Amino acid sequence: MSIRVRMTVLAATGVLVAGCTSTEGGAPGATSAPPSAGDVKPSVTATATTPAAALPPLPGPLTGQRPAWKRCPAPEGGQGPGARWRCATVTVPVDYAKPEGATLPVALIRKEATDERGRIGSLLFNFGGPGASGVVMLPQLEEEYRKLGERYDLVGFDPRGVGRSAGVVCRSDAEQAAAEATVDATPDSAAEEAAFLKDGADFGAGCARRSGALLAHTTTSATARDLDLVRQVLGDAKLHYFGVSYGTQLGGTYAHLFPSHVGRLVLDAVVDPTADTVGHARHQTIGFQRALDSYLKSTGQDRKAGTERISRLLRKLDRQPLAVGERRLTESLALTGIAVTLYGQANWPLLTDALAEAEQGRGGALLQLADYYNDRDEQGRYSTQSHSQRAISCADSSARPTAAQARALVPEFRELSPVFGAFLAWDTAGWCADWPVRGERATPEASAPGAAPVLVVGTTGDPATPYEGAEKMAKELGEGVGVLVTNKGEGHGAYGTSRCVTRTVDAYLLDGKVPAYGTTC
């Protein structure tokens, strides 16, 4: 599992709960036999970059929908959200160029505003990934958004291809576990390289067998169009929106496609809209090493010596993984476990303990951290978030770096980060290799001339979406639209962890107070 731009409960709350279960709202994994394979021709959604005015109008049965809000079903083996939450679905076209054609359901969850007189409207959330289930995550974060919930209906949704919205499924739990146990994400030999590339191709082939008809239509631009239809169905004249991590890419895309429909938009932990696949990997290499440096400094360790200590452990695991019961802690899983703790400063003590245990020959703590990030529960079941994540990412990006190109990046990336460099360099080739559909474009589009001011929040120590991305997003949105707010701190996302940022965002969303560009917390 690569270090992708994603938002987990760990990142959102800054604390890891031992033995946590999957956070995905969809199927826990494809355990039944896959449907028969069909030919999936490479294609691009025809509406990808088409201006809204040039598309066919949506038919009345879609725009005239009225959601049937009902008590939310409890997930398998778990409890449903509180009594005030209600669930519904909105029907959207699979292809906006053919709105009279096939449709799919978009799952929603809502908690109505507690202050009816002061109600502003609906506030939609996307917690990143891509692939995070808003239907599952929003109720879990209910207390964090309590103040906003006084005057907004809090609305979460599963984007198309995620969870209960025709969630993409690509492989079974057994296949996922086998890949994690055997595939080296930093190949050192021709055999390891071949296995790494084959795994990426097999993953894509599994997506094509199980979800092929949808794969060309899981783009962020299609989801942005879904957002606008949901806005209409909910009865809001403008879209009020809170996007975190990948959710900032979705928010920027919406602002570009529908600038006149922009209400109050907050983008926190911002994806750089000017970066392509290699650019994102380079940014994350710098960002995760920067966060690792801050962690080492906080523990009194020298940056160079501490980095070498961790690199030495990883090299040892590469040669000889640690047995953890019937499983093994590999170099790749250890890297994932290390990375997830860097999403929030409150998690750093977990990293200290996990590294110390691994150096003593016990890999259970790092493996548990990796399982958390990979959405694997104690029964060995995985969520399908990583499936949706890859489907959306590869539908969005037209880049398909080759193994030779990835190999050529390794020296540069290792120089940037001895710990994460090779991992992220190889990831550029493994992520969308041999993907069954073409991607939409090299980089997303976020220019939104004429839109209302959009709050763009960047954290200086963010590992997954480094601060520079917020600067780029504010600039891309345009003068008078993108309003940059800088959070001097650590971690992925600032709202709820920085009091200053939280106050600034609340004043904007609740009272319409737009801070000065460059406000620093």
- Is 400:278 a contact under the CB 8 Å cutoff? no
Mean pLDDT of 132-150: 95
Measured CA to CA, the distance from residue 78 to residue 456 in angstroms comes to 36
Confidence of residue 54 (pLDDT cuts 50, 70, 90): confident
The pLDDT value given to residue 238: 98
- Closest residue by Cα to residue 255 from 237, 275, 239, 269: 239
- In the annotation, is 506 catalytic? no
In a domain, 35, yes or no: no
The pLDDT value given to residue 416: 98
- In the annotation, is 492 catalytic? yes
In a domain, 231, yes or no: yes
Residue 263 or 434, more confident: 263
Residues 162 and 240 in one domain: yes
pLDDT at 350 over 70: yes
- In the annotation, is 43 catalytic? no
174-194, pLDDT tens digit by residue? 999 999 999 999 999 999 999
In a domain, 12, yes or no: no
Domain end, chosen from 430, 461, 484, is at 430
Measured CA to CA, the distance from residue 312 to residue 359 in angstroms comes to 10
Residue 46 or 376, more confident: 376
In a domain, 7, yes or no: no
In a domain, 500, yes or no: yes
Residue carrying structure tokens 């080296």:
184
Residues 283 and 265 in one domain: no
In a domain, 36, yes or no: no
- Closest residue by Cα to residue 251 from 476, 26, 98, 486: 476
Mean pLDDT of 104-126: 97
Mean pLDDT of 340-361: 96
Residues 83 and 125 in one domain: yes
pLDDT at 395 over 90: yes
CB atoms within 10 A of CB 315: 11
Burial level of 237, CB count in 10 A (0-12/13-18/19+)? exposed
Residue 80 amino acid letter = G
Residues 398 and 350 in one domain: yes
Q: Which domain holds residue 282?
A: 173-214+278-430
Q: Is the dihedral of CA 437, 441, 444, 447 positive or negative?
A: negative
Confidence of residue 74 (pLDDT cuts 50, 70, 90): confident
Chain Cα centroid distance, residue 498: 21
- Is 89:67 a contact under the CB 8 Å cutoff? yes
- Is 420:284 a contact under the CB 8 Å cutoff? yes
Percentage of the chain modeled with pLDDT above 70: 89
The pLDDT value given to residue 81: 84
- 464 sits in which H/E element: none
The pLDDT value given to residue 73: 85
Residue 129 DSSP SS3 = coil
For the whole model, what pTM was predicted?
Answer: 0.91
pLDDT at 95 over 90: yes
Domain end, chosen from 430, 464, 481, is at 430
CATH number of the CATH domain containing 231 = 3.40.50.1820
458-498, pLDDT tens digit by residue? 999 999 999 999 999 999 999 999 999 999 999 999 999 99
Mean pLDDT of 290-311: 97
CB atoms within 10 A of CB 209: 19
Confidence of residue 408 (pLDDT cuts 50, 70, 90): very high
pLDDT at 31 over 80: no
In a domain, 262, yes or no: yes
Mean pLDDT of 510-517: 98
Residues 335 and 400 in one domain: yes
Q: How long a stretch of residues is the chain? A: 521
Residues 478 and 426 in one domain: no
User: Of these residues, 122, 221, 245, 397, which one is catalytic?
Assistant: 245
Residues 188 and 246 in one domain: no
Confidence of residue 299 (pLDDT cuts 50, 70, 90): very high
**Phi first, then psi: what are they for 85, rounded to 5°?**
-85, 140
The pLDDT value given to residue 37: 25
- Is 245:436 a contact under the CB 8 Å cutoff? no
Q: Number of C-alpha atoms within 13 angstroms, CB side, residue 91?
A: 15
Residues 182 and 263 in one domain: no
Residues 130 and 115 in one domain: yes
In a domain, 302, yes or no: yes
Residues 137 and 153 in one domain: yes
- Number of domains within the chain: 2
User: Of these residues, 240, 256, 283, 492, which one is catalytic?
Assistant: 492
Residues 191 and 97 in one domain: no
Residues 207 and 67 in one domain: no
The pLDDT value given to residue 32: 26
Confidence of residue 78 (pLDDT cuts 50, 70, 90): low
The pLDDT value given to residue 21: 28
At residue 437's C-alpha, the angle toward residues 212 and 53, to 5°, is 100
Measured CA to CA, the distance from residue 457 to residue 520 in angstroms comes to 10
Mean pLDDT, rounded, of the chain: 89
Domain end, chosen from 395, 430, 465, is at 430
The pLDDT value given to residue 77: 60
Mean pLDDT of 452-461: 98
The pLDDT value given to residue 465: 96
The token pair at 105 is 């359901």
